[in-house]
């Protein structure tokens, strides 16, 4: 039975705790004093983020679905709670359908029945639920944990149906959300089993993972499985994995070569831990990482364009769980690992997506620093970090034709194999220096003296920071001395001002003239002193370079250098 039901929208008053609000990388949480979870997230074409989940008041009050919209900097634009008929409702997955339409799935209670039913609908880019309906067998009941959008072929929802036990269950919907077929798969059941996630295969069929025998007894052992189901709902093949007393698969990603990337959890009598593994097209294990500590679990995996893998979940830090992000290369080796959260309570990452800026948007549950939990969003760069590059340098040495810079940049991470690097344009037309070396000194030798605009570019992921300034390269021994006079600004541009040393002010009224020589010793300009302590003159007719200034009638008095650019 299918029903279109009225939905009550409740605007919630929430407080916001956030960091780095004006950066595309941020950590932000929304607190309405209730217990909240972010279970699904997507980035919209306009750059904003849309997150869905649940909002649970104190028991016995029913759970409600929540929808949050933020801008690309994490600023909250909309936060709405939906609770039809004052019964339980949870949104646990969301996918983009078009620029202004996003499909969600979840489960809850329709009109007060004891079992859950599956819900499906659409949300617009403002966070408004524009359509919601109950799908599947509402008499028996069902709930879903994952969904895949097959473009023109509609949607497939994966979960479980309730009979005498829990049986793996798929519901196929067309693009408008109308039910086309729904099947259970008893062959994959022993007692309390379900599908946990679903992905598209390269041939357009579906790869589904799940867990079998949730209640472990002496006669059966909980195990995980992977299977392939065609667009008509027929089971094509399946394979079980029994690694410990209880093994469950949580999430599946598939590449174009039919390799499978799976996250899950293994449980023994005294411990449990998350794992991630890769299977080849024949479902053989290529590599597996069991290095997560006891108590950890993994929620989602994201396949990168180069077939590297990023996983999100939670891991033990001290005595508490923190959200974790890990990246693996194609051999299953960890490239980097990050954790987010506080030290006092548990913090979880439940869903993650790749972002337009090449990083990751993660939603979950943050308990640290609050009562209950807050809906949590974390946006990172491609290295799982919140920082943007800040390029800078200082002059370490400037002697003869050689210029040595001390690289003082921050947040570029040149030691990262994920792509932090520097580019130096020395300003003389020579080949740029490109380095990922952590060594902070950069040296260059010029062909001739002059002034050069030296620019340092600091790259990390898709972010760029630029720092540059004109640098004078002059012969050894020409120094900026206060002996007779000083020139400002130095380097000079368009104009310069000569200030006579007080020891030589008696020369002002003697018709003294300033001579300017280039580095080849050629006289290029003469300037009569103004009759005052300072004389301003134009440098517009001088080419960029280094010059030497001295008094015409007193060559025995040490001169001063001037840089023009």
442 located within any domain: yes
Same domain, 506 and 464: no
Which of 426, 447, 473 marks a domain boundary?
A: 473
pLDDT at 540: 84
pLDDT at 94: 97
Number of structural domains found in the chain: 2
Let me know if 453 is exposed, middle or buried by CB neighbors in 10 A (0-12, 13-18, 19+): middle
Residue among 561, 469, 463 nearest 518 (CA): 561
Same domain, 490 and 456: no
Same domain, 547 and 507: yes
Give the span between the Cα atoms of 389 and 290, in whole angstroms.
33
Give the span between the Cα atoms of 514 and 45, in whole angstroms.
64
Give the span between the Cα atoms of 230 and 558, in whole angstroms.
90
425 located within any domain: yes
Using 70 as the pLDDT threshold, list the residues of the chain that sit under it.
1-22, 32-33, 59, 111-113, 189, 214-221, 245, 269, 414-419, 438-439, 474-491, 501-510, 519-521, 531, 555-559, 565
524 located within any domain: yes
557 located within any domain: yes
Which of 473, 496, 525 marks a domain boundary?
A: 473
| Greatest pairwise CA separation for the chain in angstroms | 113
464 located within any domain: yes
Q: Please answer whether residues 241 and 227 qualify as being in contact, where contact means their C-beta atoms are separated by less than 8 angstroms.
A: no
Measured from the Cβ of residue 247, the count of other Cβ atoms closer than 10 Å reads 21
Which of 432, 450, 473 marks a domain boundary?
A: 473
Check which CATH number belongs to the domain holding 554 and give it: 2.60.40.1930
Same domain, 496 and 546: yes
pLDDT at 2: 28
Same domain, 426 and 449: yes
Give the span between the Cα atoms of 80 and 70, in whole angstroms.
12
86 located within any domain: no
Same domain, 545 and 519: yes
Model confidence, pTM:
0.78
446 located within any domain: yes
**Radius of gyration of the chain from Cα atoms?**
33
41 located within any domain: no
pLDDT at 496: 83
Check which CATH number belongs to the domain holding 447 and give it: 2.60.40.10
Parallel, antiparallel, or unpaired: how do β-strands 450-460 and 421-425 relate? antiparallel
Range of the domain at 413: 393-473
Give the span between the Cα atoms of 124 and 132, in whole angstroms.
12
Same domain, 493 and 514: yes
Q: What are phi and psi of 322, to 5 degrees?
A: -120, 150
CA 561 to chain centre: 49
Q: What are phi and psi of 269, to 5 degrees?
A: -60, -45
pLDDT at 527: 85
pLDDT at 416: 60
Same domain, 503 and 465: no
């Amino acid at each position: 039975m299918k029903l279109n039901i009225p939905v009550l929208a409740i605007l919630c008053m929430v407080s916001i705790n956030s960091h780095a609000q004006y950066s595309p990388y941020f950590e932000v949480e929304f607190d309405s004093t209730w217990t909240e979870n972010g279970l699904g997230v997507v980035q919209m074409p306009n750059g904003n983020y849309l997150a869905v989940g649940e909002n649970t008041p104190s028991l016995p009050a029913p759970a409600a679905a929540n929808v949050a919209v933020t801008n690309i900097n994490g600023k909250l634009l909309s936060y709405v709670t939906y609770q039809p008929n004052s019964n339980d409702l949870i949104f646990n997955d969301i996918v983009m359908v078009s620029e202004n339409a996003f499909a969600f799935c979840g489960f809850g209670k329709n009109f007060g029945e004891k079992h859950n039913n599956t819900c499906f609908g659409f949300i617009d880019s403002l966070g408004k639920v524009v359509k919601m309906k109950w799908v599947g067998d509402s008499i028996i009941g069902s709930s879903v944990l994952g969904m895949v959008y097959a473009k023109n072929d509609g949607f497939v929802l994966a979960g479980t149906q309730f009979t005498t036990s829990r049986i793996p269950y798929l519901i196929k919907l067309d693009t408008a959300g109308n039910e086309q077929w729904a099947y259970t798969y008893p062959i994959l059941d022993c007692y309390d089993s379900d599908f946990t996630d679903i992905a598209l295969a390269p041939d357009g069929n579906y790869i589904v993972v799940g867990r079998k025998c949730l209640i472990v007894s002496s006669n059966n052992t909980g195990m995980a499985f992977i299977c392939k189901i065609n667009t008509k709902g027929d089971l094509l093949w399946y394979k079980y994995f029994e690694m410990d007393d209880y093994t469950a698969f949580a999430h599946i990603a598939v590449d174009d070569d039919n390799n499978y990337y799976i996250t899950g959890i293994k449980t023994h009598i005294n411990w449990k831990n998350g794992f991630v593994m890769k299977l080849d097209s024949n479902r053989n294990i290529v590599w597996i990482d069991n290095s997560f500590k006891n108590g950890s679990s993994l929620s989602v995996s994201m396949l990168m364009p180069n077939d590297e893998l990023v996983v999100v979940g939670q891991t033990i830090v001290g005595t508490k769980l923190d959200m974790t992000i890990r990246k693996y290369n194609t051999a299953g080796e960890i490239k980097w690992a990050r954790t987010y959260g506080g030290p006092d309570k548990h913090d979880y990452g439940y869903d993650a997506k790749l972002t337009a800026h090449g990083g990751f948007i993660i939603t979950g549950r943050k308990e640290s620093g609050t009562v209950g939990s807050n809906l949590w969003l974390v946006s990172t760069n491609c290295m799982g970090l919140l920082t943007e590059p800040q390029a800078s340098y200082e002059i370490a040495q400037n002697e003869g034709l050689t210029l040595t810079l001390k690289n003082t940049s921050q947040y570029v991470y040149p030691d990262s194999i994920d792509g932090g690097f520097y580019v130096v344009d020395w300003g003389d037309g020579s080949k740029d220096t490109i380095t990922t070396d952590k060594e902070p000194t950069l040296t260059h030798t010029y062909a001739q003296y002059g002034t050069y605009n030296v620019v340092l570019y600091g790259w990390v992921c898709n972010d760029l920071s630029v720092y540059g300034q004109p640098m004078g390269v002059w012969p050894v021994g020409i120094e900026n001395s206060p002996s007779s006079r000083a020139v400002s600004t130095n380097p000079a541009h368009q104009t310069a001002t000569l200030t006579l040393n007080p020891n030589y002010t008696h020369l002002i009224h003697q018709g003294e003239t300033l001579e300017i020589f280039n580095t080849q010793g050629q006289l290029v300009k003469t300037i009569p002193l103004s009759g005052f302590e300072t004389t301003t003159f134009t440098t517009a007719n001088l080419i960029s370079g280094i010059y030497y200034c001295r008094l015409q009638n007193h060559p025995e008095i040490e001169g001063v250098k001037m840089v023009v650019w």
